[in-house]
Structure formats: C-alpha cells, structure tokens
Structure 1
Amino acid sequence: MTRFTGFALGADQEDWCARLRALAAERLRPLADKGEPGRVNRPLLAALGEEGLLGRVFTSGALELCLLRESLAYGCTEAETALALQGLGAYPVLRSGSDAQRERWLPGVRAGRTVAAFALSEPGAGSDAGALALEAVADGGGGGGGGWRLSGEKCWISNAPEADFYTVFARTGEGPGAKGVSAFLVPADRPGLSGEALDMLSPHPIGALAFDGVPVGPADLLGEPGRGFRVAMDTLNLFRPSVGAFAVGMARAALDATVAHTAVRTAFGGVLGDLQAVAHRVAEMATRTEAARLLVYAAAEAYDADARSPQVPRRAAMAKLLATETAQYVVDHAVQLHGATALRRGHLLEHLYREVRAPRIYEGASEVQRTIIAKELYREAREMQEAQEMREAQEAQEVGEA
C-alpha cells in the first residue's frame, strides 16, 4: 500500500478506505443492529473474520491499522470496536507469546471465533498502570519452574466476562512499580476466574473480573517474568494512534451529517448553512477534524518508521489526545446544530454521542496523555542540555591542551 505523503493519502489508500466504509454500512451495520448492547456480538466478529479484517490487524503497520479503524468507525462503530478489542487482547500474544500460544489462540481470533480481552485496569489502578495490585503469588517455585496463583480484581475490561481468553497483567514482585509486573495468557475456563458485566454508557461489552487463586504456569507467561509492563506498553504504543483514528472516524461521520443537514434545513427565513454563526462553526469542526487526522497519520508513520524511537510514545499520546478531544467537540456541536432530532434514540448523532465519550478515558485518559507529552518534552530538553554541556567541556579541554 502506498505510503502516506504527509499531506494526502494515495489513490489506492483512498479506494480501500471507501470500500471499507461501504462494507461497514452495507454488511456490518445490519449485524451490529441485531446485537445486544453490552454483549459480545459473535456474528459481527465472524463477519470481520470472513472479510479478512481481523487477520489484517496483525499484519498491518500502524498507518494501515489507523485507516482500517477510521473507515469502519465512520460507518459502524460497533464493528470498529469489535475489531480493535480483538487486536488489543491478542496483540501481546502475537508479539510476546510462545509458538504454542500463538498456534493455539491466534487462528480463532483471526477467524472471529475466539474472543480476546486486554485485562490491565483495576478498581484502584486505571490510568496508573504501574500501581497494579493483582497478585501473582509463587506456587511451587514461581519463575524457577513452578507456577503462580492470581488473586485480586480487574475492572473496566472490554469483552469481559464473555472473552475466551484474557491477557492479564499481575504483580510478580521482581521489582517495585512497573518493574514487578508480568503478563499472562489466562483462558476463561481457569478455576477461580469469574466475572460480571458492567452497565456502561457506551454500548460495547465491558466487565469486571475476579481472580480467586487462579492457577497459571510458565507456559502461560507472555514474555519474561517482570517484563509485563513492556508487553503492555508495546501494545498501547501501537494502538493509541489508532484510538485517535477511531475518534477521527466518528468526527468525520458527525461532520458529514452536519454539513448535509445544515445545507438544507431551513430556519429564520433561510438555510441554516447561510447563517454565518453556523457556517463558521462547521468550518471550525472541519478544521479540527483535519488537524486531528493528520496528527494521527503522522504518529502512525513515526511508529512504522521506528517503533522503538523515543519519540513514538510522545507522538502516540499527542495523536490520541487531540483526536479524542476533537471528536468530543465535533460530535457535541453536531448535536447542537441538529437540535432535538439528534437526541432521539437511534439517531446517528445520539449513537455517536454515547460512543465518543469513552475514548477520552480508556487506553490512558487525556490527562495521562498530557503527562506523557510533558515528560518526553522535558526529557528531550535535559538531554539537549547535557549534550551542550559535554560539548562545552570538550571544547574547554581542547583549548587547555592547545
């Protein structure tokens, strides 16, 4: 697929996005409408698998993943979310799992038969992932060849409690804070694991999990003991820009609906779009949406160029922050310009209004993104200062020797 130029997508990319939007509207939207809010929609997942889109999540670069999520979100947010949750839950298995784990679980995930979930957040540790309290107590030697028992809770877990397996992050104690966290692949049928659904504002499935001495062994580890936080961050650095793409897709859908509505809706003796106040607001919505879209694409390109670059976390945080805040702004103003009709249950904007709020919180709240951005900016400033001081010291030494 042609690379993004920094200003516009290539013709093949635009064509692919158009086909995805059509697929979302024509095939996926009817399946989503038949689903039960707050429950895993397995027919929808199966359709995503049949179309090859779930498999594409694991073979795409960051930019392609963004285009996929943005295009699906434009026509069917439920399909976009179902696809993203499969990726989020199973990507750690792809990147850090053993050959046996990948062979056992990933074919079902790609086909839409097996439901994955990413279990990081806890009642007392949402955005502060380093404060996890779920314990992995050594059972017969721990990392020395034995296993662990997981005890504690997870909360706000998408696809819980209906997932077939969970990527679970627990404290194994190799070090303080994030250094003592390990990642495990936990099948849903393990003894001691239970869960309940949570009734949330957004319509996708979210639940809580309880771990009562759930047994896990070395074969369930994802990566190495004590390195689970890196597994989580590798996943989030890839998916954060594409959360922004999800938000951009919603913003673009709301913007297009608003342009269409205000172009024909009459009020005060004329068309709404002829009122300067309305036209200027629509222009602001369009400008912010375009700015967010470009920042998302730039962050994805940076990830594709070098996923280990120290600039990737900052760019990903900026993309998610601007895009999710922008989508909230655009959808809110779209509702305002539509009036009461947009508040009726089943209206596109009523649906988007409920969907758009959550992305400002999950995968790191907006406040966390700002913290990441500031931390990276000050780190870069310190490094530049240190480099300058080293150059000055070297120059002074050379002058002295001369």
Structure 2
Amino acid sequence: MTGFALGVDQEEWCGQLRALAAERLRPLAEKGEPGRVNRPLLAALGELGLLERVFASGALELCLLRESLAYGCTEAETALALQGLGAYPVLRAGSEEQRERWLPGVRAGRAVAAFALSEPGAGSDAAALALAATADPAVAPAAGGGWRLSGEKCWISNAPEADFYTVFARTGEGPGAKGVSAFLVPADRPGLSGAALDMLSPHPIGSLTFDGVPVGPRDLLGEPGRGFRVAMDTLNLFRPSVGAFAVGMARAALDATLAYTADRTAFGGTLSDLQAVAHRVAEMATRTEAARLLVYAAAGAYDRGAGDVPRRAAMAKLLATETAQYVVDHAVQLHGAVALQRGHLLEHLYREVRAPRIYEGASEVQRTIIAKELYAGVVTR
C-alpha cells in the first residue's frame, strides 16, 4: 500500500471478498436467527480460510477483510470480527497449551470465542471494572492456588453461547488498571451462567454471571496484574478495523444511494438532477473516502510498530463510525419510505450502524484518548 492507495492485487481480493460475502455468506446469514450465534456461518468462514487470515495477517489486511465483508454481508463481518476479538488475547498472551487447545477450533469456526470486558458499571471506563478474582488456595492447590471469579459482565458479544471467554477481572496487584488480570474461562466452568440481551443489533449479545467460578494459574492470559495491557493491545488492533467495518457499511449505503437517485424520477427528472441531492451525495462520498484513508493510515501505523498507534486507532474509529452514521442516515433520507421497510438494505444498515459508535470505546472515549495522546507531547513552561 503506497500513499494509501491499494495495489491491483489488493483491489482484486477485495472485489472477490465482496462477491463471496453476497453470494456465499449472505444466504447463510439470512437463515440464522437474530441474536443467536450462527454456527453454519462461522463454519463457512473457517472453511473459506477467512478466520485463519484474521490471525495470520496484520492490521491492514484485517481492515481490508472487514470492510469488504461488511459491504456484502454485515453478519459475516461481525461473526469473523468477534472470533478475532475474543481469541486474539489467547494468540498474543496465551500459553502454548491454551493456544493449541482453542485456536484451531476458532480458526475452523467450530469454537466460538468472546471478549468479556464490559460490566454494568464499567463500560467506557474499562479500568473501573469490578469483577472480583479472590485468591483461593483450594483452587489448583498443586499450582499454589488460584482464584474465584465473582460478579457480572454485560453487553458481551457472543454471550451466552460462546465456548470460551477472555475475561478481565480484578486480582488487586495494584490500584486501577494495574490490578487487572486476564483469564481464559471455558463456558462449562461451574458457577458461570448467562442470559441473552434483546438488542438493536442483530448479532448475539448477552450478560454473564460469575458465582465463584474457579480459575487457576493455567487459565491466566499473561501475567497477574497485566490484564489491562492485554485488553488494550487487542483494542489497538481492532479499533481501526471497527472503522473498516463502518467504512464498508458507508460504501454500501453510498452505492445504493447513487443507483437509486440516478434512476428515481421526480420533479420532471431524476433525483440526481436536483442540486440539493447531488451535493448531499458528494458530501457522503467525500466523508467516506476521508474516513477510509484514516482507517488505513492507522492500520499501516500499527503494522509498522509506530509509537502513535493509540491516537491513530482512536482517530480512525471515531471518524469512521461517525461518518458511517452520517452516510447511512442521509441514504435513508434520500431513499424515503422505501428504506424503512423491513428487509431493505438501508433498514438493515440503519440498525447495524449505531452500535459501533459505542462498543470498543464510545466516541467520547476516543476523543479523550486522542486529546490525552496529543497533550502528552506538549512541553509546558
């Protein structure tokens, strides 16, 4: 990628992904039940090798993958992304035993992963999480003891149907973020239960209850007290790709609007003949392109190991998700009532586009991160 322009091979691959999403994956998505894990869809993502690419590629390829799938089938994009988000901490911080047990199933679409960070009282302020990991020598006594998890997690994608959870809990090595550890918790652990939540977005989201769930040293992801870093490393990779998801939706809405306004007759011509309509479409296209460039700039910075990744990732997610909301909303307005019918592409996108401005750090959190990173480089007198 040079000057933020894709090469011929990359453009061809993205085109193939868009076609694959529409022709092969969308029919599977349409057969799924809203709010439930679509295991046939996950299996197809594994069979096609797309889940493998989530773990074998860098941020740039992940963004291309998510944008292209989102254009043709948002459900497939989300299913793929949630596998990556839930299992990436295992890839980066897990033991060889953990990786060998769980990652092959994730890559094949057989094992469903989930990233369990948010809580009823700790959504945007992730460092304030309250899920308690209380030391208990009776848990894993041969390894020097373990912990019992007590508390709740909420708004967890793929819960309560996931096969394992990456769980962040307070072990108390220090205040705030310094006292958080990450654990890999299989879904069949005693004391772990959950319930589905009826949300606007069609993908599965639920709550989890931990009633003294036992975890030992072999369940740790990384070191005790270093779990917050595991979470932030994961989010720094996936935030730009959330932006790519948003860009994919914006591009789909934009293309639908171009086709509709060029064909729809009104006031003696087509809608595209009206300057107000043409200028609005031009604004939608300009904002979409700007967001796309910022997303891929952030992805490139991540792949280069640049020091300003947190700022770039936050900027990319912020602009892309806000832009997608703008583009989809105006696309609905230009289509009129037809776009509000159940089953219409824009009706679907209108429901999908709202959540990314909240999850993995709300827009307000992204602005806070950006400002903090900017002021960190200012030398005061």
TM-score category of the 2 structures, normalised to the smaller one = over 0.9
Deviations 1:38-66 (A, max 9, x none): 00000000000000000110011000000
CA displacement, residues 6-30 of structure 1 (integer Å, 9 cap, x when unaligned): 2410000000000000000000000
> How far is the alpha carbon of 1:246 from its aligned partner?
0.1
Q: Helix, strand or coil for the counterpart of 2:166? A: strand
Measured in 2, the distance between the counterparts of 1:6 and 1:362 equals 30
The separation in 1 between residues aligned to 2:351 and 2:379, in whole angstroms, is 68
Q: 1:293 to 1:401 in 2, by over 3 A?
A: closer
Encode CA deviations 1:223-268: one digit per residue, 9 max, x unaligned: 0000000000000000000000000000000000000000010011
Post-superposition Cα deviations, 1:104-130, rounded to whole Å, max 9, x if no partner, equal 000000000000000000000001000
Give the counterpart of 2:362 among 361, 365, 373.
Answer: 365
- Output one character per residue of 1:247-306: Cα deviation in whole Å (capped at 9) or x when no partner: 000000000000000001001111000000000000000000000000000000000001
CA distance in 1, matches of 2:30, 2:153: 29
Alpha carbons 2:181, 2:228 under 8 Å: kept: yes
| Mapped contact 1:96–1:222 kept (Cα < 8 A) | yes
What is the SS of the residue equivalent to 1:67?
A: helix
Q: In 1, Cα distance between the equivalents of 2:120 and 2:128?
A: 11
The answer to whether the 8 A contact 2:181-2:226 is kept is yes
* Partner Cα distance (2:179, 2:113) in 1: 24
Distance 1:358 1:149 in 2: 32
Q: Is the 8 A contact 2:4 2:297 kept in 1?
A: no
Unpaired runs of at least 5, structure 2: 137-141
Deviations 1:330-374 (A, max 9, x none): 000000000000000000000000000000000000000000000
Q: Give the Å deviation of 1:401.
A: 27
In angstroms, what is the RMSD of aligned CA positions?
2.8
Of 324, 327, 334, the residue aligned with 2:324 is 327
8 Å Cα contact 1:6-1:294 kept in structure 2: no
Task: Measure, in 1, the Cα distance between the counterparts of 2:212 and 2:222.
Answer: 22
Question: 1:5 Cα shift?
Answer: 1.1
Moved over 3 A (4+): 399-402
Give the secondary structure class of the aligned counterpart of 1:400: coil
Q: 1:347 to 1:400 in 2, by over 3 A?
A: closer
Q: Are the counterparts in 1 of residues 120 and 153 from structure 2 also a CA contact under 8 Å?
A: yes
Matched position secondary structure for 2:114: strand
Cα 1:374/1:144, change in 2 over 3 Å: farther
Distance 2:360 2:143 in 1: 33
Alignment partners' CA distance in 1, 2:83 and 2:5: 29
In the alignment, is the contact (CA less than 8 A) between 1:6 and 1:298 conserved in 2? Answer: no
Distance 2:286 2:191 in 1: 51
Using the alignment, how far apart are the partners of 2:336 and 2:18 within structure 1?
Answer: 26
Q: Distance in 1 between matches of 2:54 and 2:20?
A: 17
Give the total of aligned pairs. 373
Q: Deviations over 1:111-154 (max 9, x none)?
A: 00000000000000001000000000000xxx982100000000
Contact 1:134/1:153 (8 A) holds in 2: yes
Give the Cα–Cα distance (whole angstroms) in 1 for the partners of residues 255 and 275 of structure 2: 18
Q: Secondary structure at the match of 1:238?
A: helix
- Whole-angstrom CA distance in 2 between matches of 1:210 and 1:269: 61
3-state SS of paired residue (2:152): strand
In structure 2, how many angstroms separate the alpha carbons of the residues matched to 1:174 and 1:6? 45
CA distance in 2, matches of 1:157, 1:41: 16
1:71 paired with 2:92, answer no
SS in 2 for 1:46: helix
Could you list the per-position Cα deviations for residues 198-233 of structure 1 after superposition, in whole angstroms to 9, with x for gaps in the alignment? 000000000000000000000000000000000000
SS in 2 for 1:55: helix
Aligned equivalents of 2:144 and 2:233: distance in 1? 26
CA distance in 1, matches of 2:98, 2:273: 60
Unpaired stretches in structure 1, ≥5 consecutive residues: 379-398
Task: Report the secondary structure of 1:95's partner residue.
Answer: helix
Q: Label 1:231 to 1:274 Cα distance change in 2 as closer, same or farther (>3 A).
A: same
Find the structure with the greater CA-based Rg: 1
Task: Give the conservation status (yes or no) of the 8 Å contact 2:105–2:111.
Answer: yes
Residue number in structure 1 paired with 2:231: 232
**Helix, strand or coil: the match of 1:234?**
helix
Matched-pair contact (CA < 8 Å) for 2:4–2:296: no
Structure-2 change in CA distance of 1:400 and 1:273 (3 Å): closer
TM-score, with length taken from structure 2: 0.96
Q: Matches of 2:117 and 2:43 in 1, distance apart?
A: 26
How many angstroms does 1:400 deviate by? 24
